[in-house]
Structure 1
Amino acid sequence: MHPCPGTPTPVHSTVTETHVITTSGLTKVYRSRGREVTALDGVDLHVREGEVYGVIGQSGAGKSSLIRCVNLLERPTSGTVTVAGQDLTALAGRGPRAGRELRRARSRIGMVFQHFNLLSSRTVQDNVELPLEILGQAGRARSRKALELLDLVGLADKAKAYPAQLSGGQKQRVGIARALAGDPKVLLSDEATSALDPETTRSILQLLRDLNRQLGLTVLLITHEMDVVKSICDSAALMEKGRIVESGTVSELLATPGSELAAALFPVGGEATGADRTVLDVTFHGEAATQPVISQLSRTYNIDISILGAAIDTVGGLQIGRMRIELPGRYEDNVVPVGFLREQGLQIDVVGQESLLVKEGAK
């Protein structure tokens, strides 16, 4: 049985997948002046190889703590973090050798920051070379690699410029090139677009998606912007008060009655025009998104249907739509029309009737 709106449970695929990032029971407690603040409360996260995975939540939800624990910039209070088959938490705190092993493991995880974190005294090329310098790579090889990466992110002509001469979007492209210097399998993005204007945000998101496809990168990003999830994410998780309250592929979430993420991705409004009315939220995806299902319903059952709100967009390469419609009569009078919609492969949520929504989800 599915829960009512507001209390969705995590959605998980039943297909066996290779998970590149896994956290298990991850907890982070900050202690200050005798007080304890729990930023992460038993987080289980599973990011599959080659996907773009978005973690969304409001400020204070624990997103930043989560992503910093994934590469052990923050030491978890308890729980484990595994990246590319390696338990990073086992590398922490076991003397100098463990420190070296952790640094080596972390070098295979790229990190893109919200405010770029570029060194103003270094040229663009020198900023990209910095991680390679730390890894002890020879000068000529560093230079060649940095120029290749700058070309990859569209900044080949800015190699000798300084950060102060760049726009915000260009600075973030340098940050992305630097994050790729160690040939990582995983790229972490910490609110990478929140300081950018909408047009620049779109270009950076497209770059991340292109790199995901070209390099086979697994991308884990955190954000408070639903449009980021809508634009490039294959899977998503909603965080609240240090916990993941809902997770799954975008298509799974859209097919889950009462999903908060689905409703936030495609908000549709509209109130019933009278007491004797049935209001439905209808989710279209795949082939159903292009079929004239609502007009077929109206003709087949000779009923007048009001459209109260609608939204359609492309998410993860799939055309998705949500529509709020009103049917004359109470729900009991519309069981057959609702059944017709479900037979067309549509997801149906009954609005304003929580007990009926549970029934719908249980069928």
Structure 2
Amino acid sequence: MITTTDLTKVYRSRGREVTALDGVDLHVREGEVYGVVGRSGAGKSTLIRCVNLLERPTSGTVTVDGQDLTALAGRGRGASPGGGSQRANAALRRARSHIGMVFQHFNLLSSRTVQANVELPLEILGISGRLRSRKALDLLDLVGLADKAGAYPAQLSGGQKQRVGIARALAGDPKVLLSDEATSALDPETTRSILQLLRDLNRQLGLTVLLITHEMDVIKSVCDSAALMKDGRIVESGTVSDVLATPGSELAQELFPVGGEASGPDRTIVDLTFHGEAATHPVISQLSRTYNIDISILGAAMDTVAGRQIGRMRIELPGRFEENVVPIGFLREQGLQVDVADAAAAVELAEEGAK
């Protein structure tokens, strides 16, 4: 549904260049909730604004629902007026009408009622007053604000304002919904309700949702797939379940931080990832009894992701790696993903797995 290819955005100011996006390839499947996560300055906001061409990419292509938006954009802001340019801009506006966007700070018009805010994009599309009104009321009902149609933004809570923003973003019957840090200004309980609303809309309407966030809990709560951005690049991406099953995944470590360092020399640190049924089995106690070894748990995290219980644990085994090959093999036989913290030992383990 959304594809970016070698997407680059360079800002130029006073003789200086800042590269916000550096060759980004992104692939979002139809009907999924896809999260892009990263710290401030990673390029997340620039990426999502390039998807609907609120920002014009310096180079590369953006394709949404099979349509190359960068081709529709023509020569960009610096283009001279002409029939071809006007037609391209009109085509881009039509394409954008099928892409909804939810903003971090709501961007509601304070002088308009809630209903009138939702009607605004329909006015721009030239929809008649009666149809606008009916559509807006239906959307407010969909987001749980049917009783607030006549209220003004100042009378709403932050979560209610964001629900109005979501209803407004849905006014054009979009196939794609973009969310630009939509929950970062909200308290935790309200954040959960908005994320649940986005997931419900994804399922009910078949929406493809692309959201950016700096919060790992958002990825765990609603996302089917995720990408980690650093310095304008996507350094890791995939379905959340695949990412968690990838040895050495930085995104998995961010999603489920376990921490903990070795307590002394001649100790082996092992990171375990539990999926599905393996998460409910007493594997660590079985390991301890079977091999009569003392195991230290240095850290653990467990959560439900996409309806599946997933967890990570960091344990310490007595002795060097070569002394723990058999216990580590036992852990792998139980269906656990095993990552050895020591680099040399990890390579050795990978080679054994390949055999």
Same-fold call, TM > 0.5? yes
- Residue in 1 aligned with 2:178? 188
Within the candidate set 154, 166, 170, 1:176 is matched to 166
Which residue is equivalent to 2:2?
Answer: 21
2:224 corresponds to 1:234: yes
Distance 2:27 2:167 in 1: 26
For residue 215 of structure 1, what is the aligned residue in structure 2?
205
Matched, 1:246 2:236: yes
Q: Is the 8 A contact 1:257 1:361 kept in 2?
A: no
CA RMSD, aligned part only? 1.0
Task: Check the 8 A contact 1:26/1:40 in 2, yes or no.
Answer: yes
CA offsets 1:103-136 (integer angstroms, 9 cap, x no match): 0000000100000010111000000001111111
How many Å separate the matches in 2 of 1:97 and 1:359?
A: 60
Which amino acid is the alignment partner of residue 59 of structure 2? S
Matched, 1:330 2:311: no
For the residues of structure 2 that align with 1:70 and 1:161, how far apart are their CA atoms? 33
Question: Which has the higher relative contact order, 1 or 2, with Cα contacts under 8 A spaced 6 or more apart?
Answer: 1
Separation (CA, whole Å) in 2 of partners of 1:172 and 1:162? 13
Q: Take 2:231 and 2:295, find their aligned partners in 1: how far apart are those partners?
A: 40
Matches within 5 A, 1:91-110: 91-93=72-74, 94-110=84-100
Q: Does 1:42 align with 2:23?
A: yes
CA distance in 2, matches of 1:355, 1:50: 41
CA deviation string 1:15-67 (max 9, x = no partner)? xxxxx000000000111111111100000000011111100111111101100
**What is the CA distance between 1:291 and its match in structure 2?**
1.2
Instruction: State the identity as a percent.
Output: 85
For 1:152, the equivalent position in structure 2 comes to 142
Q: 2:67 aligns with which of 77, 86, 89?
A: 86
User: What is the TM-score when the length of structure 2 is the normalising length?
Assistant: 0.95
Pick from 52, 55, 61: which aligns with 1:74? 55
Whole-angstrom CA distance in 1 between matches of 2:28 and 2:349: 30
Aligned to 1:17: none
Per-residue CA deviation, residues 294-326 of structure 1 (Å, 9 max, x unaligned), is 122122222221212111001122210111111
Distance 1:360 1:182, change over 3 A: farther
Alignment partner of 1:355 is 2:336: no
Question: 1:230, 1:359 → 2: CA distance?
Answer: 31
**Aligned equivalents of 1:44, 1:279: Cα separation in 2:** 35
Per the normalisation by structure 1, the TM-score is 0.93
Partner AA of 1:327 in structure 2: L
Question: Counterpart in 1 of 2:77?
Answer: none
Q: Return the alpha-carbon distance in structure 1 between the equivalents of residues 218 and 307 of structure 2.
A: 14
CA distance in 2, matches of 1:318, 1:357: 27
* Residue 134 in structure 1 maps to residue 118 in structure 2: no
CA distance in 1, matches of 2:39, 2:316: 32
Matches of 2:181 and 2:350 in 1, distance apart?
34
1:35 partner amino acid: R
Cα deviation digits, residues 265-285 of structure 1 (max 9, x gap):
111122222212111111001
* Cα distance in 1, alignment partners of residues 45 and 350 from structure 2: 33
**1:288 & 1:46 partners in 2: Cα distance?**
31
- 1:70-94 CA-to-partner distances (Å, cap 9, x unmatched) read 0011111110000011111110125
Q: Give ranges in structure 2 of 5+ residues lacking alignment.
A: 75-83
Measure, in 1, the Cα distance between the counterparts of 2:14 and 2:36.
30
Other-structure match for 1:6: none
Deviation at 1:327, TM superposition (A): 1.2
Task: Give, in angstroms, the shift of residue 359 of structure 1.
Answer: 3.4
How far is the alpha carbon of 1:358 from its aligned partner? 3.2
In the alignment, is residue 273 of structure 1 matched against residue 263 of structure 2?
yes
Structure 2 CA distance for aligned equivalents of residues 284 and 248 of structure 1: 18
Shift of 1:361: 4.1
The residue type paired with residue 13 of structure 2 is: S
- Aligned partner of residue 60 in structure 1, secondary structure: coil
Give the secondary-structure state (helix, strand or coil) at the position aligned to 2:324: helix
Q: Secondary structure at the match of 2:344?
A: helix
Aligned to 1:8: none
CA distance in 2 between partners of 1:253 and 1:127 (Å): 39
Taking the aligned partners of 1:261 and 1:301, their CA distance within structure 2 comes to 32
